[in-house]
Structure 1
Amino acid sequence: MKDIAIKRWLRVAALLCCMDNLHATGLRVTDDRGVEVSLPKSPQRIVSLLPSLTETVCELGQCNRLVGVDRYSNHPASVRDLPKAGGGIDPNIEAIVALKPDVVLMATSSRGVQRLEALGLKVLAMESKSSTDAQRVMSKLGQLLEVPDTHRIWRAVDAGVMAAAQSLPPGARSLRVYYEVSAGGFAAGTQSFIGEMMTRLGVQNIVTPDLGPFPRINPEYVVRANPDLIMIGVRNVQGMEHRPGWRGMRALREQRVCVFTAEESDVLVRPGPRMAEAARLMARCIQEKGLK
């Protein structure tokens, strides 16, 4: 009996040792730069400087960990009252440091990554251009926040996109569409998450794959392509009809233009948990304007 008790004690001691080692190892997440970020434990104070990352953190049920966000993060409504720490491209370094975050979430393209790291802050840089990117980012944030089964959340998003596609008639497949993402003529290419969604909805993107995910398009390119339907946000639509040659395009002649509100545009251009809602907005546009 004494030997059995000793063996049990040894097993318990070994288990406790393993747990101590696991705790000592902490949490390690590799970001989109290929940089491994090490933390002693899952962060409790987070600054998010990209709206899609903010929305994903909240979709994972961890909004309460956010202590600051960028000026554009506005969903869900609860994040609007959080301290603002500049933008993704022009972060307010002093404001971020003052918030004492355990980790800062930001885009790989942000100019502030190296500056924050030089000040000793932990930075996880992630940026989604495709649907696959968005799924990977959600998985990495789930790992960071120790939220299990992010795949279940993504499956629900994917099912919503599929349902939106199935709501459209076969006639949608003949539509040639131009989607303008932002001012300056930046468009959604076929390799972007928006372009991928257009493909799933069955329409044809006038932007060719060789131009990349979000190319800057010359207005003449659009005139030559003569799309059946144009999708554009209200922030970018001003003066559109005055672009050289645009008034003669079929989409403008027949008023086949969907002008999304600012709130709708936010949904559409953010790769993350609201992509199913984005698909429904695009499907409604196709139904109301493209198939009339």
Structure 2
Amino acid sequence: MRPAEENQMRTRFVLLTLSAALATSAGATRYPLSLTDDLGRKVTVKAEPARIVSVLPSNTETLCAIGACAKLVGVDDYSDFPAQVTKLPKVGGLYDSNVEKIVSLRPDLVIVSKYGKLAEQLGQLGVPTVAVNPETYADVFSKTTLLGKIVNREAQAKALNIQMQRDIAKVEILTRNAVRKPTAYFEIDPTPYSIGPNSFMGVLLTKAGARNVIPASLGDFPKVDPELIVKQNPQLILGTDLKTASARPGWKSITAVKTGKVIDIPKELNTILGRPGPRLPQALRGLAKIVHPELFR
């Protein structure tokens, strides 16, 4: 090889190496990282977390989905997906977290909820916390991005968001052109509590091709008056069974009850539906199959 050609080859190699390095650094989180968490606190993550405790199942799932599962050293009692997190130490629930257990795991970051007093308790013990609390449909994507930034997995978080949106769009293509879009009441608790149209579950119900009978003015997860459901007369009732619905005063007159369109949600699907995380597309598909089974034959 001639000296000139050798120099050109060397120059190209240096440029390619430099470009790769720049691309990598551009996608990497720079620490210390300062942010405002969902408790409204100014928080600084000093370095890339290596030992994380997650106390919300949705955050646990997101961390694993963006390639940070190996960083988890403990999770809440309800985190059960993916399967590998079931082998991790359990630290209690949202309102009964075992603070001593969490501290014993020596986390360099605990990702908490904005509810409860865990952040305050751990703060007094010098344990770093960040409150990340996805609640709305949009939050699923923005909190995925935030978690990606916190754990230095921004590229993976972006890819996950894109894939989720693509999978959701595939279902929407089917349901958007459904001949009928039944009015629906979704019960999440027999008290009864339901879902408003602007909650993340309410958005999924609409995307599944149904029309929510709960007014947005009642909030995202309102306790509802059973008489309101009678008045709204939904064509479809989800989240309870026909026997239970029929036994309620006045409910036998509801169209959904008269036609037998009262469907309890399978346990696994119900769990996924309640988690604003990376399995949102699966939740939507499962719900759409119930609302419009004719579209998935």
TM-score tier after normalising by the smaller chain length: 0.7 to 0.9
Task: Name the aligned partner's letter for residue 245 of structure 1.
Answer: G
- Pairing partner for 1:29 from 28, 32, 35: 35
Secondary structure of the equivalent of 2:111? strand
| Counterparts of residues 249-260 of structure 1 (less than 5 Å) | 249-260=254-265
- Pairing partner for 1:272 from 253, 271, 277: 277
Kindly state the Cα deviation for residue 200 of structure 1 after the two structures are TM-superposed.
Answer: 2.6
Aligned length: 268
Q: Which moved more, 1:150-159 or 1:207-216?
A: 150-159
Measured in 1, the distance between the counterparts of 2:59 and 2:97 equals 15
**Is residue 181 from structure 1 mapped to residue 188 from structure 2 by the alignment?**
yes
Q: Which moved more, 1:65-74 or 1:106-115?
A: 106-115
Secondary structure of the equivalent of 2:39? coil
Task: Name the aligned partner's letter for residue 178 of structure 2.
Answer: P
* CA offset digits 1:182-212 (Å, max 9, x no partner): 3422211111011112223332110111111
- Pairing partner for 2:99 from 61, 73, 93: 93
Kindly state the Cα deviation for residue 260 of structure 1 after the two structures are TM-superposed.
Answer: 1.6
Measured in 1, the distance between the counterparts of 2:254 and 2:30 equals 64
Q: Is the alpha carbon distance of 1:290 and 1:248 closer, same or farther for their aligned partners in structure 2, counting shifts above 3 Å? A: farther
| Counterparts of residues 32-51 of structure 1 (less than 5 Å) | 32-51=38-57
Answer yes or no: is the 8 Å Cα contact 2:209–2:292 preserved in 1.
no
Percent of pairs with identical residues = 33
Kindly state the Cα deviation for residue 146 of structure 1 after the two structures are TM-superposed.
Answer: 0.5
Measured in 1, the distance between the counterparts of 2:192 and 2:41 equals 33
Q: Is the alpha carbon distance of 1:251 and 1:42 closer, same or farther for their aligned partners in structure 2, counting shifts above 3 Å? A: same
* 5+ long unaligned stretches in structure 1: 1-18
Secondary structure of the equivalent of 1:177? strand
Kindly state the Cα deviation for residue 68 of structure 1 after the two structures are TM-superposed.
Answer: 0.8
Kindly state the Cα deviation for residue 25 of structure 1 after the two structures are TM-superposed.
Answer: 5.5
Measured in 2, the distance between the counterparts of 1:118 and 1:172 equals 56
Kindly state the Cα deviation for residue 289 of structure 1 after the two structures are TM-superposed.
Answer: 8.9
- Pairing partner for 2:126 from 120, 123, 128: 120
Measured in 1, the distance between the counterparts of 2:158 and 2:193 equals 31
Measured in 2, the distance between the counterparts of 1:233 and 1:113 equals 36
Q: Is the alpha carbon distance of 1:29 and 1:202 closer, same or farther for their aligned partners in structure 2, counting shifts above 3 Å? A: same
Secondary structure of the equivalent of 1:181? strand
Kindly state the Cα deviation for residue 285 of structure 1 after the two structures are TM-superposed.
Answer: 0.4
Task: Name the aligned partner's letter for residue 279 of structure 1.
Answer: L
- Pairing partner for 2:163 from 153, 156, 167: 156
Task: Name the aligned partner's letter for residue 179 of structure 2.
Answer: G
Answer yes or no: is the 8 Å Cα contact 1:258–1:289 preserved in 2.
no
* 5+ long unaligned stretches in structure 2: 1-24
Measured in 1, the distance between the counterparts of 2:193 and 2:77 equals 22
Answer yes or no: is the 8 Å Cα contact 1:233–1:262 preserved in 2.
no
Which residue number corresponds to residue 221 of structure 1?
228
**Is residue 285 from structure 1 mapped to residue 285 from structure 2 by the alignment?**
no
Kindly state the Cα deviation for residue 56 of structure 1 after the two structures are TM-superposed.
Answer: 0.4
Measured in 2, the distance between the counterparts of 1:261 and 1:203 equals 18
Kindly state the Cα deviation for residue 27 of structure 1 after the two structures are TM-superposed.
Answer: 2.5
